[in-house]
Structure 1
Amino acid sequence: MNYRHLGEIVETQPTIGSNVEEVNYKNIKMQMWDLGGQSSLRASWQIYFSNSQGIILVVDSTDRNRISIVKEELFRILECAELKGASILVFANKQDVKGAMTATEVSKALNLQNIKSHDWHIQSCCALTGDGLGPGMDWLTERISSHKTSK
């Protein structure tokens, strides 16, 4: 599978375990962890949350069968003390695929409107073309920047 990384096409494989990369976006350096979503790995996610100011959750908008699992895991991680004050960006990915849930449908399925403890935003996207990635990252970096200046 390929995706665009800051304008460059990169070949990818499903994440087994975790990967880390430093990304500089609009003069903000971020250490990004790509955590595998397999059920056996979810218990270890919490060790990566220390000092996190943002979470990016990428949802496969074509996978209606597992959206309830995504919702359960999202609400579980939002209870972690290490994520207090972190902003949540949800990418509703695969918008280029016929029959994909819209961002509104994903938002409803995840019950995002009930998240009161964190700023959140949902963004339609297509990782293959890069559509929607910029606006989502803009939203997140604005939150991270304002969080740093308010301290």
Structure 2
Amino acid sequence: MYTFLSGLYKHLTRREAYYIVIIGLDNAGKTTLLERIKSIFLGVPGLPPERIAPTVGLNIGRIDIGGARINFQDLGGQTDLQSIWERYYRECHAIVFVVDSSDPERIEECKNALEKVIMDDTVEGVPVLMLANKQDMPTALRLEQIKEIFNQIAERLGARDSRVLPISALEGTGVKEAVDWLFLRVQRNKANRPPIIISQ
């Protein structure tokens, strides 16, 4: 009887889990984005900006949406750490590429980094969301300018779900919309990248 009830409980408490990788150059605002996501969806205060240090390795954040668990993996963006990104592609359900839109001098470097990501065979069919961060800054490139720069890469994405959205991780503008877009896409992409089934 215990085995039956235990099995029934496990079945009833199962839910889907998705893994979303957050990448981009150093100082793009990836960790600030993760803190803002946790603040919005968990209702807890995130780390204040002055306490956010550059990521060396990995930061993890988990939120629950619509009965599913979303695991965000924020990876370091320094040049010597970018080689670890590919280790996370095979298991991820979506990729978020964060761009510092207030730093036009590094846009070409951003473009090259994203191009390398897209050309990796293991991300075939994975939704890609590019976030034009720091839109609150007066020096920020407009969304249209960033889209124009990355249009050539977007052509290589083919039929894959991809989008560019403006956000301010610092102020929280556009962050909920970005997560909602991701959640919808990972659910639509179940046939290509099935979720991990976990117990609550």
Q: Structure 1 length as normaliser, TM-score?
A: 0.88
In 1, Cα distance between equivalents of 2:84 and 2:72:
16
Unaligned runs of 5+ in 1: none
Give the helix-richer structure, 1 or 2: 2
**Quick one: which of 53, 66, 88 aligns to 2:128?**
88
Letter matched to residue 155 of structure 2: N
Count of aligned residue pairs for this structure pair:
151
Match of 1:141 in 2: 183
Summarize the Cα distance change of 1:63–1:101 in structure 2 as closer, same or farther, 3 Å threshold.
same
Looking at structure 1, the residues matched to 88 and 121 of structure 2 have their Cα atoms a distance apart, in angstroms, of 12
Task: Output the CA distance in 1 between the equivalents of 2:178 and 2:161.
Answer: 13
Q: Cα distance, 1:57 vs. partner?
A: 1.0
* Identity across matched positions, percent: 28
Q: Identify which of 125, 130, 139 aligns with 1:99.
A: 139
Q: Per residue, is there more strand in 1 or in 2? A: 1
Selected match of 1:122 from 158, 164, 179: 164
Deviates more, 1:11-20 or 1:83-92: 11-20
1:17 to 57, 79, 82: 57
Would the aligned equivalents of 2:39 and 2:46 in 1 still touch at CA under 8 Å?
Answer: no
CA RMSD in angstroms, aligned pairs only: 2.1
2:189 counterpart SS class: helix
Equivalent-residue separation in structure 2 for 1:44 and 1:113 (angstroms): 23
Tell me the distance in 2 between the aligned counterparts of 1:26 and 1:70: 33
Name which of structure 1's ranges 107-116 and 90-99 shifts more when overlaid on structure 2.
Answer: 107-116
Q: Name structure 2 gaps, 5 residues minimum.
A: 1-30, 195-200
* Structure with the larger RCO, 1 or 2 (CA within 8 Å, 6+ apart): 2
